[in-house]
Amino acid sequence: MTSNTADNSTTNTDTRSRRLIEGWLEPTGVALNGNKPWDLQIHNPDFYSRVVRQGSLGLGESYMDNWWTCERIDQFIERVLLANLGDRAHTRREKLFYQLQTSLTNLQSKTRAFMVGEQHYDFGNDLFEAMLDETMCYSCGYWKEATTLHEAQVAKLDLAARKLQLRPGMRVLDIGCGWGSFAEHAARHYGVHVTGITISKEQAELARKRCEGLDVEILLEDYRDLQGSFDRIVSIGMFEHVGHKNYQTYFETVERLLAPDGLFVLHTIGSNNSKIGADPFINKYIFPNGVLPSIAQIVTPTEDRMVMEDWQNFGADYDRTLMAWLENIEAAWPSLPYDERTQRMFRYYLASCAGAFRARDLQLWQIVFSKRRPGRYDAPR
């Protein structure tokens, strides 16, 4: 870790970098070493040049290194994004590297698909059990009538189940089943058989335990390898890992597996534009190779393949969900076997994402598709 004391050779560079950052922040109302909850408290003068050189990766890593603190990171990020400073987070070099990488490589190929499971979802069930509610849902809750995180997550699960029009005896596929939250809910309350797939060994192990005694099977498998036919398909919080080069294959797979009169519910975070990119901090530390789809990128590969029956956006609810997770993990941290740097990583990740959803920079969509099934479809809310 770099010392908190800068030598004289870097003083001029740090001063220029500080002035540059102050100029960027001026329209946001964020001050350096100010007294507002969203102001940054700088503990290492090298912070300024590091952020100018490395963009959002430098911002996040310097927070992990305790070079700066902020009482309300969520409010800081919200203000930055509302001032349209999001592009400043990506350096020219980082943009060029990512464009070359995504054009030459399929970052979400079958051989790379298990990377996010190994790095993030296998981080430790103890951490996620402390952070999440009893359902172990690691996706946006539905806060329309909920007052607690658990109520919001149960409401989200049931909203998806009702949109699928589940009936006893149906065969349901859960693509990216996580720790088995939807599989457990659907099998227990709707009497369906659920096949859940995940790329995380930790998730698969806990999901099987949680679904013991229910008509549920959990597989450690890539979606592209699946065979069979299912009356209903659901995918909650997994599409963000598919990647733009695989969207066509993904929807071809869903079409192949879905019964002729079936329904498919896709629950995914979404982007306001179709640029191919990723936040370098999130990509390195949280969700490697993750890409957020746009409306156009979802719709285009479904043309002449599936019918879009319903599209609901409740992205504003992710702000509240993330802040609830942050509160949970902060309260539980003293009992968890992880160091302070890891705590700061999760704090920055959760709070910054909450700020992004609050600024409406990110969306959360639940979309219902069919295969030209006859009759009218009315989606529940």
Residues marked active site are found at 353
d(CA 191, CA 185): 9
Q: According to DSSP H, which parts of the chain are helical?
A: 11-25, 47-64, 73-82, 92-104, 115-116, 125-131, 149-164, 181-190, 201-210, 247-257, 280-281, 295-299, 316-332, 340-358
Scored b (16 or more CB within 10 A) or e, 219-255 reads: eebbbeebeeebbbbbbbbbbbbbbbbbbebbbebbb
- For residue 173, the Cα-to-chain-centroid distance in whole angstroms is 21
Quick check: 156 and 380 in contact, CB under 8 A?
no
Per-residue DSSP letter, 117 = I
Whole-angstrom CA distances from 206 to 109, 129, 151 are 26, 10, 22
Quick check: 176 and 113 in contact, CB under 8 A?
no
